[in-house]
Chain A
Amino acid sequence: MIQLIRLLLVGAVGFTLPLCAQTPSDAILMNAKQACFLLDYNYASFDHYWEGAVKRDNQTIAMVKRNSVMPMVAVGIFDNLNLYAGVPYITTESTMPNGGRFAGANGFQDLTVAVKYRWLNKQFEKGQLAGLATLGFSTPIANYLPDYMPYSIGLGATELAYRAVVQYKYNSGWYLRGAGTYLWRGYAEAERAYYYNDGSYYTSLMDVPSAITAEAVVGKWLFSNSLQVEASYFGAKSLSGDDIRAYSAPQPTNRVNLDRIGLFAHYFSPKFTGLGILAYYNRVVNGRNVAEMNTTGVGLTYFFNYRK
């Protein structure tokens, strides 16, 4: 169920943030009594990126590092409807030496609020089929500057995420999951009155391309459902946008496409009820106007009943 948190967040932060938390009962919603806290930390870095379709490095920025901490809460409102909210705090900087000597950035990024609804839950002889739909809304809560790439901590645009998830879980513990998302994105606001995006724009508003994403996951529950492991592919494609111009900084109007692969594990303590730890790694393997980002993260989850 809270697996969806992470699907939400993947889109919410312009694909650059890592996969986030996953929770024990993958395709089962928390019931109307339960809640969950998650605290996630991840470190991400890149020293190559795709300028248009051409992969390159750039000593002006050397290696860019990003640290993120995100608290998140998930609450079962109804048995088939959960609510999520979370906001990351992010810092970025370049390694020394670098040719640009730019200051990094830091601050709270976007608040994400989402509801997830289960529209299908069917038991078969060999397993269980679940279908879920998510509506997510995210928007910047602080005055960070999206037009300061690659150090910007976010895209700076309001985003609506429409997502469908289908999962089939075998009785053996194996499961397959697929998800597809449409991400509508609004405008980022720059601090300049003119910019070039395949032509002149006399405004500080930048149209951030909307996007579609697709995800495929294979996973398994091990050791009496105390350890969950999975491998995933995630792909995203902007529906409009321009390319990063030669030897130039990216900007929020860019068309961002990427293919990413990842590993994820979540362990639930048999000793301390409700407590779990998770770890993940993912890597962008191909893309357009995107960083070749490597992300490593760890997190803590805690489940409890918030009412009787």
Chain B
Amino acid sequence: MLHARTVLVFILFLLLFLLSCEKELPRYYDFQGYEFASVDPEGGTWKPILIENGAAISIPAPESTTSVPYLQEVEQLKDEMARMSESDVKAVTYWTQNPIIRWNEIALELIAKYNLIPGPNADGSYTLPNPANPNGPPVFPFSHPPYAVRALAYLSVAQYDGLISAWHHKFANYRPAPYIQDKSIQPLYADNVIPSYPSDGAVVATVSRRILTQMFPLEADYLEEREAEHLRCLLLSGANVQSDVDAGRVIGDVISSIALARAATDGMKDAQAPKPVSDSLAAAALDRFGWQWINQEVPQRPVGLTPLFGRVKMWSVDKVEDTRPAPPPAIGSPAYEADVAVLRDYAQNMTQERRRIANFWQDGLGTYTPPGHWNEFAKEFIVKYRLNPLRSARTFAYLNMAMMDGGISCWDTKYYYHYPRPIQTDRTLATIAGTPNFPSYTSGHSVFSAAGAEVLAYVFPEEAGVVRGWAEEAAISRVYGGIHWTFDATVGTEQGIDVARYTIDTARKDGAD
């Protein structure tokens, strides 16, 4: 009896110890505000993407630092800072002085939230998300990889152009931050000597809210709240007065309108083609090559994902056909049969390592998609190399432009060749990843990843080997998953590298190097 009790008590203690192992799981990238590696006083002269130059957007001249209105603003700021609550301090610490990181995370979160493919209706039909009725069902948007990469591209490009304009005005006006004007102000961020008029943070806040609201209309209220919190933190940090913020918002609004005007006419609204158009693409491939991709879902989806995404306006490539690879092996050819054997072998001999790779890069439904994954890598390098907001925006802009161009090129290839997925032509195959609703050749993961890796290798040359290795792993992961042919992956990787070259050529000429 006594023995039994002793054992029980011992076990209870053991269990209580185990219970204390609960921890907080990371919801965002936890990093400390840092001193920027460079200030880039010439940043205002860099070549933007959408506007002629940084001076193309004008803002009012700032009040001088000795003027009454300015001194009043500083006093107001000191008042506000004195009344800061603990949650204010937490918010200021969260946003940091490189808030592009946070807005990029917000974008990825919304992509993951809306990356849900509409299921079938009771009668076996499918309803498409409709921007005119975003509440649906199904809700708008379905943020699949093409949608996601485009949203990220417009977000990043508008941020970048807005910050070039901000940099132009900052160094033209040179109004130092309030904590430099008034030594009694204790700044909450690292001391980065970048002039404060206009506020770069406010440019980023307003651009991000506007672009993301257009892309995710049901999130308008949420995004407005995040913007308001961010703008308030710009003041509470001691880095900006209200007029800095107001001027930043003007730039943010102007550049957002320009970016959204391009988005409205880039061809995306026609990308989800109607069935007759979709059928004609399949028929053309059947006629030309003797094969066509057919959706294998039950009930069958009548139209693949965005058949005309390949016709969306590219950022750095004039003619998408210039980046279209040679045809895949004919069905039944020796090269094709050899790959069938490879896929069967993978399916029958799944290893822990191949499973891990297939899952790590899957980035499927309900996630931030492959372009999102590469944005996450970029974020970590930006912090590692202590980039300032302007260079951070530049990194994201070229990264997402290259990946969007890569996606457009890939989709052009997919619907031109209309090549079947492995499970369509080999009924014995089973997969460990979901087979997407579009043709196989070339692999989207491969093109997105190679394009993203090339831009990151250009911006962070020390990481070139690492990121290119990742891109190859992402490519082959789809073959391990059983949903792509080996040549989808290898040719897709080459295609991504090729498309990124156009973007990097543009980048090299923008004045930042």
Contacts and interface: CB of A to CB of B under 8 A. Distances in A.
A203 B25 contact: yes
Interface string B502-513: 000000000000
A145 B359 contact: yes
B385 interface: no
Given A60-B298, A99-B296, A192 B27 contact: no
A239 B117 CA distance: 29
Contacts of A184: 19
Contact of A248 (B1, B21, B365, B376): B365
What are the nearest 7 A-B pairs in CB distance? Answer: A247-B119, A191-B359, A99-B298, A59-B298, A103-B430, A99-B297, A81-B4
B355 A100 contact: no
Interface in B350-380: 350, 352, 355-356, 359-360, 362-363, 365-368, 372-373, 376
Contacts of A190: 359
Nearest to A105: B432
A266 B349 CA distance: 41
A202 B113 CA distance: 14
B139 to A, nearest CB: 9
Interface string A86-129: 00000000000111111110000000000101000000000000
A192 B431 contact: no
Nearest to B21: A186
A10 interface: no
Contact of B116 (A101, A186, A245): A245
Interface residues of B, number: 56
B305 to A, nearest CB: 15
A101 B433 CA distance: 9
B484 to A, nearest CB: 14
Contacts of A232: none
Nearest to A148: B432
B366 A199 contact: no
Contacts of B331: none
Contacts of B15: 135, 137, 160, 162
B109 interface: yes
Interface in B135-152: 138
Contact of B26 (A98, A115, A202): A202
A81 B347 CA distance: 47
Interface stretch (B6-14, B48-56, B442-450): B6-14
B242 interface: no
B432 A200 contact: no
B56 to A, nearest CB: 35
Interface in B380-437: 423, 429-432, 434-435
Nearest to A158: B18
Nearest to B348: A103
B60 to A, nearest CB: 38
A192 B109 contact: no
Nearest to B29: A202
A244 to B, nearest CB: 10
Interface string A131-165: 00001010000010101100000000010101000
A203 B482 contact: no
Given A81-B4, A101-B423, A246-B138, A192 B359 contact: yes
Between A81, A103, A184, A205, the greatest number of chain B beta carbons within 10 A of the residue's beta carbon is seen for A103
Contacts of A101: 296, 423, 429-431, 435
Contact of A195 (B7, B21, B367): B367
Contacts of A245: 116, 366
A207 B8 contact: no
Interface of A: 58-60, 62, 77-78, 80-81, 97-104, 115, 117, 135, 137, 143, 145, 147-148, 158, 160, 162, 184, 186, 190-196, 199-203, 205, 207, 245-249
B25 A207 contact: yes
B83 interface: no
Contacts of B376: 193-194, 202
Nearest to A96: B427
B327 interface: no
Nearest to B352: A143
A200 B379 CA distance: 15
9 contacts: A99-B296, A115-B7, A135-B15, A190-B359, A194-B367, A201-B25, A203-B25, A203-B26, A246-B116
B350 A103 contact: yes
A148 B358 CA distance: 12
A60 B359 contact: no
Contacts of B29: 202
A135 B359 contact: no
B8 A246 contact: no
A210 to B, nearest CB: 10
Given A196-B367, A202-B26, A246-B138, A191 B7 contact: no
Interface string B109-120: 100110011111
B3 interface: yes
A66 B271 CA distance: 41
Given A135-B11, A191-B360, A100 B1 contact: no
Nearest to A80: B4
A62 B298 CA distance: 9
A62 B297 CA distance: 11
Contacts of A81: 4, 7-8
B360 A205 contact: no
B454 interface: no
A46 to B, nearest CB: 17
B297 A60 contact: yes
Contacts of B368: 194, 200
Contacts of B109: 196, 199-200
A195 B113 CA distance: 10
B299 A59 contact: yes
Nearest to B434: A100
A161 to B, nearest CB: 10
